[in-house]
Amino acid sequence: MAQNRMAPGSKTLVILFFILLALSVAIAYYEYFIARNFELFYDDYGEAAQAESYNVDLQIYKN
């Protein structure tokens, strides 16, 4: 009979680790691929601010 060499409770910790890993990967994916496609610019305090005036100025400059 093969003995279980893992300490009791470590299987739960391993499962929890992989859940947290998947969650962090999902958050990083969201921030890199999805959030950057919205027209949000962040000021020095980390607060999101719509940059509508910036886009209007850019369109005037292009034309």
Q: What pLDDT sits at residue 43?
A: 52
45 Cβ contact partners less than 8 Å away, ≥ 6 residues apart: none
pLDDT-flagged residues of the chain (< 50) = none
Where are the domains positioned within the chain? 10-62
Q: What pLDDT sits at residue 20?
A: 97
Answer whether 55's CB lies under 8 Å from 41's CB: no
Amino acid identity for residue 11 in this structure: K
pTM: 0.45
Q: What pLDDT sits at residue 49?
A: 53
